[in-house]
Chains A and B, each alone.
Chain A
Amino acid sequence: MTRYLRLIRIFTGATISAQLEYRANFIGAVLSSLGQVGVALLAIGVLFGQGSDTVGGWTFREALLVTGFFILTEGFIAVFIQPSMSRIADAIRTGSMDFTLLKPVDAQFSVSTRYLNVLRVPDILIGLGLIVYAASALTTTLGGVLIAAVLYASALTIVYCIWLALSTTAFWFVKTQNVAELFNGIFGAGRFPVTAFPLPVRFALTFIVPIALITTVPAQAMTGRLSPALAMASPLVAAGLFAVTRLFWLRAVGSYTSASS
């Protein structure tokens, strides 16, 4: 366990120092973080600007909470998930995956933690800021916040599992960057509370692609409107997905025959 923690520290140090070499990138990254939050606020502002007090039964501040979780999750993906995952396909194509598999460290751990994109940390801060701002006008209890934190941890596990599963398909298809695009497209629905959608879509977003569990459910926990069934569902789905992706990953590695053969 301590070995894995030490590895995370080394990986993080290496990737941060590599990134700080490109200082001009920072300006671009900050610009696009600010643009992203501006657009998210505009989308929700326009929706509430038409004279209606609620969208899908959510007030403006409550819906803002969902947008906060959405931006936070996008930041989490951009900082922790995408940089490592998008390199899996490259490693398979060029054959450098061989080295990862030969090392006496769990390969799933190495491919998942190797790279970071520190330039997108502002997204995480903006998301957190938005959550705090939205919650400050709502009545939240300590218990609600703690449950929200646990449920959000499950949500991040779900996001990680979906990404890993999609990236693992690279062992067979080689090119998978586009699959990430597809996930981003569907995940865009997470910027609004799931009740803002028509019923059949709401069903699909909860049970087929669990987007609702990622942004709406933690927000519901904070505002104390969460049904116990959904509260239970999120950790269960996360645990189930984790087990399934783990098996999928092991199978993929088992069938891997290096780039040259």
Chain B
Amino acid sequence: MSMLRKTRVLFATRFAEMAEYRAEVIIWMLSGTISLVMMLVWMAQAASAPGGQINGYDGSEFATYFLSVWLVGQLLVVWVGWELDFMIRQGTLSPKLLRPMDPMWVEYAAHVAERFVRIGPMLVLLAIFAFLSGASFTREWWAYPVTLGLCILGFTVRFLYEYALGLLAFWTESSTAFSEVAWLLYAALGGLFAPLTFYPQWVQNIAVWTPFPYMLGLPAQLLAGKATLAQAGHGALILFGWVVLFWFVRLAIWRLGLKKYGAVGA
């Protein structure tokens, strides 16, 4: 019961905080434009290709894929690495350690609450972009809850590894640079620049061993009606495995980091 109450209070306060930042939330959303840039380039490229398509994608299919990537990418946004870097360097982490709760949950709640602030303007923008670009999403109803499930798993994976990278601020000043590198891997292998099947075979072979294609490309393909339920199930299992792995990695780094933090007298 007390657990339930804690969760509710945590979520309500983070939601109020995020609602105050609503203007920023919209700007953050608009700055995630790289998939929209890629969409425009691929659409123009398909329009000038013989037969009007490339690798079986015509203009409207490119639009559907990249708008789906944009939507999923919006749901997976994580900034906890920067937050931790700041908290550790400025020492504002210290009072948070006195609470009878791992500070991770506060950050997790803030990220989840932000999604609820984001979703309204996001769907409006999505409708406008879809209308302008001629995208058409799948009509299979099951694809939507399954996509949402994959997004929740994908978000949790990303949150956990970004958290672990952010904790490196206990030892090094360049933890935000590591977060940047992680973003680059996520962008490249997740399918932000093109559907993964467009990549050279050797890149695809590497990508399947990482969580990235299942976080971003797979849910986007589901929305575009180009992935099956079986593929979604396979992806969900892999993502779940990464959640478990990163959970323990995060925990280990947290424990080691706290020892180091305490040792320097904070």
Contacts and interface: CB of A to CB of B under 8 A. Distances in A.
A181 B41 contact: no
B144 interface: no
Contacts of B184: 32, 35-36, 38-39
Interface stretch (A10-18, A150-158, A193-201): A193-201
B119 to A, nearest CB: 19
Nearest to A175: B24
Contacts of B174: 22, 24-29
A47 B41 contact: yes
A182 B37 contact: no
A192 B36 CA distance: 13
B33 A186 contact: yes
The main secondary structure of chain A at its interface with chain B is helix
Given A38-B184, A184-B31, A185-B32, A32 B194 contact: no
Contacts of B32: 185
A229 interface: no
The main secondary structure of chain B at its interface with chain A is helix
Nearest to A195: B44
A42 B188 contact: yes
A129 interface: no
Interface string B189-231: 0000110001110010000000000000000000000000000
Contacts of B188: 38-39, 42
B10 interface: no
A56 B44 contact: yes
Could you say which interface size class chain A belongs to?
A: 35 or more
17 contacts: A25-B172, A29-B174, A32-B180, A32-B184, A35-B181, A38-B188, A47-B42, A52-B49, A185-B32, A185-B33, A186-B33, A189-B37, A192-B41, A196-B41, A197-B40, A197-B44, A198-B44
Interface of A: 22, 24-29, 31-32, 35-36, 38-39, 42-43, 45-47, 49-52, 55-56, 175, 178-179, 181-182, 184-186, 188-189, 191-192, 196-198, 201
